[in-house]
Amino acid sequence: MDQAYLRAHPEHLPTFLTHQRIRETPVGGGSVSNAVRLTLDDGTSLFAKTWPSGEPPRGFFEAEASGLRWLAEAGAPVPEVFVALPSMLATGWIDHGPATPAAAERLGRDLAALHRSGAESFGAEWPGFIGPLPLDNTRQPGPWGRWFAERRLRPYVRTSADSGALTAQDVALLEEILSALDRWDDGEPPSRTHGDLWPGNILWSSDGTAYLIDPAAQGAHRETDLAEMSLFGGAPHLDRILGAYRDAFPLADGWQARVPLHQLHLLLVHTAAFGAAYRNAVVTAARSAHAALS
For 229-267, how does the pLDDT look when each residue is reduced to its tens digit (9 = 90+)? 999 999 999 999 999 999 999 999 999 999 999 999 999
**Which superfamily does CATH assign the domain made up of 101-293 to?**
Aminoglycoside phosphotransferase (APH), C-terminal lobe (3.90.1200.10)
Q: How confident is the model at residue 15, as a pLDDT?
A: 85
Tell which residue, 71, 98, 107, 90, has the closest CA to residue 27.
90
Note if the pTM is more than 0.85: yes
Q: How many residues make up the chain in this entry? A: 294
Q: How confident is the model at residue 32, as a pLDDT?
A: 81
Q: How confident is the model at residue 100, as a pLDDT?
A: 98
Residues 63/127, Cβ–Cβ less than 8 Å: yes
Domain spans in the chain, listed from the N-terminal domain onward: 3-92, 101-293
For 191-234, how does the pLDDT look when each residue is reduced to its tens digit (9 = 90+)? 999 999 999 999 999 999 999 999 999 999 999 999 999 999 99
Residues 74/192, Cβ–Cβ less than 8 Å: yes
Q: Which CATH class is domain 3-92?
A: alpha beta
SS3 237: coil
Euclidean distance between CA atoms 136 and 128, whole angstroms: 6
Chain-centroid distance of CA 92 in Å reads: 18
Q: How confident is the model at residue 144, as a pLDDT?
A: 96
For 130-175, how does the pLDDT look when each residue is reduced to its tens digit (9 = 90+)? 999 999 999 999 899 999 999 999 999 999 999 999 999 999 999 9
Q: Put residue 75 in one of left, alpha, beta given phi > 0 → left and psi -120 to 50 → alpha.
A: left
- How much of the chain, in percent, has pLDDT values that exceed 90? 84
